[in-house]
Amino acid sequence: MVPSVVDAIDIEADAQLDPAIQFLQATASHALSPRAVCLTGATGFLGAYVLDELLRTTGAAIYCVVRPNDCGATIQRIVGQLHSYDLWKDEFASRIHPVEGDLAQPCFGLSKARFVELAATTDVIYHCAGWLNMAFPYPRLKPSNVIATQEVLRLAGLVQTKPVHFLSSMVVFFSEAHTGDDLLREDDAPRYHPTLKGGYSKSKWVADRLVAGARERGLPACIYRPVRIMGHSLTGAINDLSDVLPLLIKGCILLGKYPGFDIKVTMVPVDFISRAMVHFAGQESSWGHAYHFFHPAPIEWRKLMSIMQSLGYPLQEVGYDQWWRELKQRIQETDDSEGEKSFLATLMLALTAPHFLFFKRPPLDATNTRQGLEGTGIEYPPIDDALISRYVSYWQKTGYLPKLTDQCS
């Protein structure tokens, strides 16, 4: 039998860092209080909040590497993203420096001279860019999630060694490699196992290991592994609703029914992560460690549905098989004049693609995170009626969820 392209991929080989990437230069003298920061992912969700946190709490100039496209000038897209979350302030303008480049290309697609100039100008790198798609295979995600990380590490070693703060994911642990572990500590290395499902998980595992390999060569780097990232804890603001949880919540509302899952749902507000990352970046004692961002008190699925009911959405609990049948029937019977059919089909695809709403997680430790944030005031808000209400209000305001008057009409 001829192996498929996917079968032929050597994931562990991809996790070997280019030998030419070395960290022989002294660490940037302003690494803890940077004069200039290189940020990837500024037009994404978490990246926008990291940009806001850096602009508000440091005096650094921020060099944002953004891929050029036909949607307008790069600076307008960055500003527009901050506006969309109500984060923009006019005084930020002079400190944002767009760098038009493609992270998946050698040297970000920049000339060698421009790449070296960026390396010489910046003191620290935040790598938040990536492509989160649970349905895509590894080869399609590799350029954005793997090659891009290697090029970030290449930049970190040029001219002066620059600390790297890398956004990984807890999914790197979700395979049978860790099912027998008593506890997964933050500095434990995620081991590879073929049961690591989905191209996204594989791409994040490889990128995570590339950064770890760079640390072994002397790079001061932090690896941040969050679980589900949700909207701002005070405003509820979130524009990226591709995660299975918001998809499922909306699907249940459209059907008027929810499956009776016996699971706990975890989530972390985006502002907690952005604040924690910038805090850790400013502490030399943080370098070389990993940090797990997961809520210590997740919410029961049925409690979450009870909150949705208390907010006015009529929802009936049914068995999963019945709910799934009614979902398929609704898709067959619905026209797509208002996009409902397409949405429900997307939900069905999300529920059949590899995802982690129902994954039995190994026990996770967060000692580094807890001790590192002690006394800072950076704390997880409770996942309660107030937080869920903020999310629902924002989703109603943006049109993602039907307003109650629409629901009852």
Q: What is the 3-state secondary structure (H, E, C) of 184-250?
A: ECCCCCCCCCCCCCCHHHHHHHHHHHHHHHHHHCCCCEEEEEECCEECCCCCCCCCCCCCHHHHHHH
Mean pLDDT on 216-232: 96
CA separation, residue 155 to residues 145, 160, 287, 348 (Å): 16, 9, 18, 41
Exposed (0-12), middle (13-18) or buried (19+): which is 406, by Cβ within 10 Å? exposed
For the cut 50, the answer to whether the pLDDT of residue 7 exceeds it is: no
Q: Which residue has the tokens 């990437």?
A: 21
**What is the dihedral sign for C-alpha 175, 177, 179, 184?**
negative
pLDDT range class, residue 135, cuts 50, 70, 90: confident
Q: Quick one: tokens of 289?
A: 């460690």
Angle at 402 between CA 401 and CA 406, to 5 degrees: 175
Q: Among 30-34, 196-200, 302-306, which is the least confidently predicted range?
A: 196-200
Residue 195 has pLDDT above 50, yes or no: yes
pLDDT digits (tens, 9 = 90+) for 285-319: 999 999 999 999 999 999 999 999 999 999 999 99
Report pLDDT for 353.
64
Superfamily of domain 31-231+267-293: NAD(P)-binding Rossmann-like Domain (3.40.50.720)
Least confident of 73-77, 117-121, 220-224, 272-276: 73-77
Quickly count helices (H) and strands (E) in the chain.
16, 13
For residue 161, the 8-state DSSP code is: B
CA distance 101 to 105: 8
Q: Looking at residues 271-280, what average pLDDT do you find?
A: 98
Domain ranges of the chain: 31-231+267-293, 244-265+298-359+381-408
pLDDT over 60 at 407, yes or no: no
User: 217: exposed, middle or buried (C-beta count within 10 Å: 0-12, 13-18, 19+)?
Assistant: middle
pLDDT by residue (tens digit) across 53-74?
999 999 999 999 999 876 558 8
Can you say whether residue 224 is alpha, beta or left, with left for phi > 0 and alpha for psi between -120 and 50 degrees?
beta
**Given this model, what pLDDT does residue 26 score?**
92
- pLDDT, residue 356, reads 58
Q: What is the mean pLDDT of residues 244-251?
A: 94
Q: Report the chain's mean pLDDT, rounded to a whole number.
A: 92
Q: Is the pLDDT of residue 5 over 50?
A: no
Q: Which DSSP helix (H) or strand (E) runs through 273? A: helix 270-281
Question: Which of 23-37, 127-141, 209-223 comes out lowest in average pLDDT?
Answer: 127-141
pLDDT tens for 348-406 read 888 876 555 666 677 889 999 999 999 999 999 999 999 999 999 999 999 999 988 65
